[in-house]
Structure 1
Amino acid sequence: MDSIRKFLAHAVRLEAEAARRFDELAEHMATHGNAAVESVFRQFADFSRLHLQTAMSRAGFRYIEDLPRDGYEWPHGESPEAAPWWGVDGLMDVEAALRLALESEQGGLDFYRSVALGSADPRVQAMAQEFAAEEAEHVARLQELLAEASGRT
């Protein structure tokens, strides 16, 4: 990816999709009365919204609708931070929710790292590395929370 605008369009869409999916998962847990897991998903929706604000301010986009509808280059055809729905049910525990969030954040980290390594544009490389560093912090925090939840502190 050798265009800063294209990179930022991807970052905006990635973070918007992650926030939307985590909000959906939180609502699903709220419907089932699973407040502990709902809280985990809401926290990661908030993290995604913070990244979204950063990407949008860097890009100068005011509204997500201003972005192109096609032209995205996702590794598996879907935004890498969109947490999957498989395995999600009302009886899910905090550890399972953290594993799902970790999978999502790791997908974002891998995406940003691959862009940083694959781009010929030094601006794209630098910004992708910066976004990867933020994702790495989330991955590390999730790994800590997962260790605590599973009693491996």
Structure 2
Amino acid sequence: MLSSLSQWSEQHIRAVFEAPTEQESLQAMKETFSPSIKAYLNGKPLGFAEIRSMILLMRNNSPNGLKIRWLQAVEAPHDACNRGGSMGGSYIISGILKTKMGTEKPVEYYRRKTVIVKIESQAISNDRFEDSRRIVDLDFVASDFPVDEESSKIE
């Protein structure tokens, strides 16, 4: 039996953002997102190429690496095998470096994300043990916050 949709999502999102190399991150993206994904970030439509570019830019601007911390996850599988269904959750990405307006030195930020995804099997073989699940629909809201003493206490 396949892992739950929440477990699958948590594992795959970590692999995308926390991968030690860009190549491993790109591979994780291929194993996480359908090439024909329908996605919305803060209400704006995105395709696979835009998602990939955003993730790579975030990774490239984070020399110490990114870290994911899941806050919650709720799932609704379509069947007992967990081949597909819906999942909603929220997590924090830490380690983001951005330049604040009026400063030259990058400042550390964290991103709060809330996601609702539809996961489907993208199987091309009849191997029922192959985990061919991919995110086919993704709606997410994301906001960045500077890391300071006050926000560190919230973490």
Sort the TM-score into its range (normalised by shorter chain): under 0.3
Higher relative contact order (Cα pairs below 8 Å, separated by 6+ residues): 1
| Structure holding more helix per residue | 1
Give the structure-1-normalised TM-score.
0.27
Give the structure-2-normalised TM-score.
0.26
